[in-house]
Amino acid sequence: MDILDKIIAQKRIELQTRKEAVSLEVLESQIFENTSKRSLKKSLLAAEVPIISEFKRKSPSKGFINEHARVADIIPAYAKAGAAGISVLTDEKFFGGSLKDLKDARSFTDIPLLRKDFIIDEYQLYVAKTVGADVILLIAAALTKEQTLRLSQKAKELRLEVLLELHDEIELDHINEYVDLIGINNRNLKTFSVDLEASVKLLEKLPKDRIRISESGISSPQTVSDLMKAGFQGFLMGENFIKTSSPGVSLQAFIKEVKDLL
């Protein structure tokens, strides 16, 4: 089994446990309406430097990045620094996250929040809504075309925006009418190797009416500047900021450097 296969197998086990503990009917009763209508799409389009900064403690490829990261310290700092959105890892076993991290993050900011996890079941969409997510991630490599369509449609019913992550041209058929944003992951989820050229190769094949995001392996202001000029409208950045002693300060400095290059 490769890394992605192991994560999905673990996710199925966790899902069964969660469903036995809290029924879908209970989750439905806990859903609150998003009266503020937070939109990652709109936030990215309005930002001069459209960065989605990430909160995560570790990764399968590198182990702990910031083991003692605290939501109360980092989320407000990201918002103040100018993040267009914030991605919160909710996978516990492989990324050191939790649903509590996302729920707490919601209490510290009103900018759009992405639940970043390995979503394979509609149940996870209801959970995302109850803890305050505005956007959910669907990973094409972990889903069939039909599963992607079903989950995207349900997400829209729950008033969640959909970020569809692609890595290869063969996954383009996963794009459907309910997808709001399309991310190209520069990191291969089966091997965790990084290839920044993946973004450029796939860019021209993406629909022009969707927000196009480059994900993973980005650490240079020059790279962001170049990709913005090429047509990307957002950048999902994980380790670059969270690994520093002051993630918010690092994000603010990064944004300034990109502005100077534009």
Catalytic residue (one of 215, 239, 240, 250):
215
Is 54 among the residues known to form the active site? yes
Is 250 among the residues known to form the active site? no
Catalytic residue (one of 53, 59, 185, 199):
185
Is 185 among the residues known to form the active site? yes
Separation CA 242–CA 71 (nearest Å): 11
Q: Beta partners for 89? A: 116
Catalytic residue (one of 87, 116, 129, 188):
116
28 φ/ψ angles, rounded to the nearest 5 degrees: -60, -35
Is 215 among the residues known to form the active site? yes
Is 216 among the residues known to form the active site? yes
Is 165 among the residues known to form the active site? yes
Catalytic residue (one of 11, 41, 56, 129):
56
Separation CA 77–CA 28 (nearest Å): 32
Catalytic residue (one of 41, 43, 54, 239):
54
Is 259 among the residues known to form the active site? no
Question: What amino acid positions are annotated as catalytic residues?
Answer: 54, 56, 116, 165, 185, 215-216
